[in-house]
Each structure stands twice: as C-alpha cells, then as structure tokens.
C-alpha cells in the first residue's frame, strides 16, 4: 500500500499542541482522504474520499510497519502516526531544498554535509569536492537552476531498478502506473531517456501482466460502448448535483465542464446567435460548488448547488442586456429541466416572454 501526502499546508502560527494543517492522503495513486488538524491537541480528522476506509489502512499499517516504543510503552502503527512521519519528511525535504539554493549538499559515509557557495560557481565547488573526496561521486546535490553560469548536475537513484527487478508488490493498475510515473521522473532527474530506460520498460511490461487477467479486447471495447450509452442515459451532471462537489476538486472540475456544455445546449435550444450571449464559470472556494452562468440580451440563467436544496439548482430571470446583473424577479428550475434543453427553452420563452428568434413567427394565443 503506497501512502502519499499531497497538497500539504502547515499553518505554524495556528499550531499550538499539535501541527495545524490540511492535506490530501493518496493511496496507491488515488485520493483516499482529506486530512486536517486544528492545532489544539485533538486527533487528526480524516474525511474519506475513496473506497478505502481508515480501518483498512490501520490494519495494513499494523501488519507492515514496526511497533513504536516510548518510555516502556508501545504503540501500534496507525494512520495518524504515518501522516506525522510523512509531514516530518516533507518538512525535512523543504529544508534541504532551501539549503540547496545557497549550498552544495553532500552525503559522505552516511552523514550529510553542507558547503556554502559564497558567491562561487556551484560547478567549481562541486569539482573541487569531487577531486578532494572521490567517494562522494554521485552523491553531490545542488540547486543550479537559478545559476545560469553553472552546468546542470544530474543524480540517479536505484529505486526504479529495484521495483523493476521485483514488481511483486505492484498488483494493481493504479500502483503500477504510479511506479511507472515515478520511474519516469527519476529518469528526468538522472538526465536519462525514459523511452529506453530498462527499468521503465520492465515496469511497463509488468503493467501488461497486471492487465492480462482481464477480458479480451473485443469484450472490453463492447463494455466501453455500453458504458458510454449508460452514462448518456444517466448524465453525470445530475449525479454531481445530487451528490455535491464540496471539497472534491475533480468532481467540481467535471461539474463546471458539464455545466458549461449544458448551458451551450440551452443557448442553442433558445436559438441565440453566437456572440449574443456569454457563458461564465466561477469555481469559487472549495466548500461550495461555484456557479455556471448563461447571460444573454434578455435572459440570465445560473446553475449552482446552493442552500435552496433539490429542484432549485437552476436560477433564471429576465434581464435588459448583458450589463444588467439584477434583472426582474428570480425563478427556479431543477437540474432535470436543464438536461432537457428544448423543453426548458419553451418554459423560458413562455414565463419570461422572450422575443421570438429571427425567422420564427410569433405564435398567437386566443
């Protein structure tokens, strides 16, 4: 089980008895939890975002991590301790990167040393260190990106080769893809071509082995076609509207993309000329859905998941031009009406008394 900490943000000013932080916990290449701590001494808060539960993670940690000891007391491994360790590693890495801006960092006989540049070219100092101690060859690190006069220095690690030689732990597609991506990153850091790197090729072949137990290609293609039809029968926009997109960046991104597409279909159903309307998208903060707005010369329609609840996802009103952001009184519709644009367009024309499109005669009612 590969556990990673992403989008880590530590608020030191608010950290009292415990670190105050927010982060995402990714397991085997997929988002699993949203983690946070208010810094007042309480335990971490984990909000599940994937299929893996906290209990399952703790069971795996107890089976694969050593027991901790402190003053004659023992503690079983758990997710909170794992996250604390990852936070420490992240802070140490950040400190190392800061030092590398003005220092050359070496590892000699298992110990870390720093040599300040003090205005000297990094390449010259690196050459002097290697001449003095050939044993540190390949262990010198320096951040030369901000120094155009220096030559880039690459470094390599053995992790990808070890995984390629023994990929038995990579039993899922997600874990194998993550290992391949990490190997490609290592190749870039080492200045090597990932297209010919033996470790990358072996890992890519292992991905084929992981997928070998799946159905044949014809069956998989047939399944894809069926899934496309199923998705079209049950639009994802409706699902996201019922489910919500708060604190889920991927879901919010899909919500806004599908929302803009739905607004464009509505504009076509209303026979609005290209250039006579705007479609705007405001994602706003992580706690809310944001909104997608269709604004024409006579009509203003907005999709958002507000506190109004179900069947009130779409707000619309009549306006006087695209500079009018107030308009007449508000009216509401459900997400289902937006997903039937022709029928919804008829309702909008009737309730808002919109001008008939050019070329379409106005209908008279007795």
| pLDDT per residue of the chain (366 residues) written in tens, 0 to 9 | 788 889 999 888 888 888 899 999 998 888 999 999 888 878 888 899 888 898 888 888 888 888 777 667 777 888 888 888 888 888 888 887 787 778 887 777 667 777 888 777 877 887 787 777 766 644 444 443 333 333 344 566 788 898 899 988 889 999 999 999 989 988 887 778 889 999 999 999 999 999 988 888 899 999 999 988 887 777 889 889 988 999 888 899 999 999 999 999 999 999 999 889 999 999 988 889 999 999 999 999 999 998 888 889 999 999 999 999 899 999 999 999 999 999 999 999 999 999 887 655 555 554
CA 126 to chain centre: 38
CA 301 to chain centre: 29
The separation between the first and the last C-alpha atoms of the chain, rounded to the nearest angstrom, is 71
CA 96/CA 89 separation, integer angstroms: 10
Whether the Cβ atoms of residue 75 and residue 52 lie closer than 8 Å to each other: no
Whole-Å CA distances, 89 to 11, 96, 105: 17, 10, 17
Within 10 Å of residue 213's Cβ, how many Cβ atoms? Answer: 6
Return the closest-CA partner of residue 78 out of 31, 48, 51, 44.
44
Return the closest-CA partner of residue 333 out of 245, 257, 241, 244.
241
Whether the Cβ atoms of residue 303 and residue 258 lie closer than 8 Å to each other: no
Q: What is the dihedral of CA 17, 18, 22, 28, to 10 degrees?
A: -170
Whether the Cβ atoms of residue 332 and residue 308 lie closer than 8 Å to each other: yes
Q: What is the DSSP letter of 301?
A: E
pLDDT of res. 140: 46
Phi first, then psi, for residue 106 (nearest 5°) are -125, 160
Residue 213: which residues within 8 A CB-CB, separation 6 or more?
none
Residue 42: which residues within 8 A CB-CB, separation 6 or more?
18
Return the closest-CA partner of residue 256 out of 236, 234, 278.
236
Identify the burial level of 164 via C-beta atoms within 10 angstroms of its C-beta, where 0-12 means exposed, 13-18 middle and 19 or more buried. buried
pLDDT of res. 143: 44
State whether residue 307 is helix, strand or coil: coil
Largest CA distance in the chain: 100
Whether the Cβ atoms of residue 335 and residue 310 lie closer than 8 Å to each other: no
Residue 230: which residues within 8 A CB-CB, separation 6 or more?
none
CA 319/CA 30 separation, integer angstroms: 45
CA 121/CA 153 separation, integer angstroms: 13
Query: pTM higher than 0.75, yes or no?
Result: no
Q: What is the DSSP letter of 192?
A: -
Whether the Cβ atoms of residue 179 and residue 170 lie closer than 8 Å to each other: yes
Whether the Cβ atoms of residue 366 and residue 341 lie closer than 8 Å to each other: no
Model pLDDT for residues 117-158, shown as the tens digit of each residue: 877 787 788 778 777 776 664 444 444 333 333 334 456 678
Whether the Cβ atoms of residue 161 and residue 199 lie closer than 8 Å to each other: yes
Whether the Cβ atoms of residue 21 and residue 10 lie closer than 8 Å to each other: yes
Whether the Cβ atoms of residue 124 and residue 132 lie closer than 8 Å to each other: no
């Amino acid at each position: 089980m590969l556990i990673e900490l992403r989008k880590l943000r530590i608020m030191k000013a608010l950290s009292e008895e415990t670190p105050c932080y927010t982060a995402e916990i990714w397991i085997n290449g997929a988002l699993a939890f949203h983690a946070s701590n208010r810094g007042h001494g309480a335990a971490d808060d984990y909000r599940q975002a994937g299929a893996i539960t906290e209990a399952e993670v703790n069971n795996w940690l107890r089976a694969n991590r050593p027991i901790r000891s402190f003053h004659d007391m023992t503690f079983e491994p758990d997710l909170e301790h794992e996250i604390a360790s990852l936070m420490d590693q992240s802070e140490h890495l950040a400190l190392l990167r800061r030092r590398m801006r003005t220092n050359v960092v070496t590892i000699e006989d298992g110990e870390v040393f720093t040599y300040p540049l003090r205005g000297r070219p990094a390449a010259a100092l690196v050459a002097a260190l290697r001449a003095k101690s050939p044993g540190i060859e390949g262990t010198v690190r320096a951040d030369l990106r901000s120094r155009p006069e220096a030559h880039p220095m690459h470094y390599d690690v053995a992790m990808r080769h070890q995984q390629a030689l023994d990929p038995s732990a990579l039993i899922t597609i997600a874990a194998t893809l993550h290992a391949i991506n990490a190997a490609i990153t290592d190749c870039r850091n080492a200045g090597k071509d990932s297209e010919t790197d033996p470790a990358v090729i072996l890992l890519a072949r292992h991905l084929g082995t992981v997928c070998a137990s799946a159905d044949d290609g014809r069956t998989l293609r047939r399944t894809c076609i069926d899934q496309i039809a199923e998705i079209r029968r049950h639009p994802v926009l409706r699902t996201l509207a019922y489910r919500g997109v708060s604190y889920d960046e991927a879901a919010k991104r899909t919500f806004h993309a599908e929302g803009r597409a739905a607004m464009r279909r509505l504009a076509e159903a209303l026979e609005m000329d290209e250039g006579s309307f705007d479609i705007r998208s405001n994602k706003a903060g992580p706690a809310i859905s944001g909104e997608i707005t269709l604004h024409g010369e006579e009509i203003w329609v907005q999709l958002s998941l507000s506190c109004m609840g179900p069947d009130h996802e779409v707000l619309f009103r009549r306006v006087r031009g695209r500079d009018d952001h107030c308009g007449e009184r508000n009216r509401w519709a459900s997400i289902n009406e937006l997903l039937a644009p022709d029928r919804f367009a008829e309702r909008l024309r009737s309730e808002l008394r919109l001008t008939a499109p050019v070329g379409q005669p106005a209908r008279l009612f007795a």
